[in-house]
Amino acid sequence: MEMKNIPFNTTDWSEIVPTEHKGEKGMAIWRTQQFDAVRVRMVEYSAGYLADHWCKKGHILFCIEGELHTELADGREFILTAGTSYQVADNAEPHRSHTNAGAKLFIVD
> Could you read off the pLDDT of 3-33 as tens digits, one per residue?
888 889 999 999 999 999 999 999 999 999 9
Q: Where are the domains of the chain?
A: 40-108
Q: What is the pTM of this model?
A: 0.91
Q: Which amino acid is at 23?
A: G
Q: Which fold has domain 40-108?
A: Jelly Rolls (2.60.120)
Average pLDDT over residues 27-47: 96
> Could you read off the pLDDT of 49-65 as tens digits, one per residue?
999 999 999 999 999 99
CA-closest candidate to residue 36, choices 7, 13, 5: 5
Rounded CA separation 92/43 (Å): 22
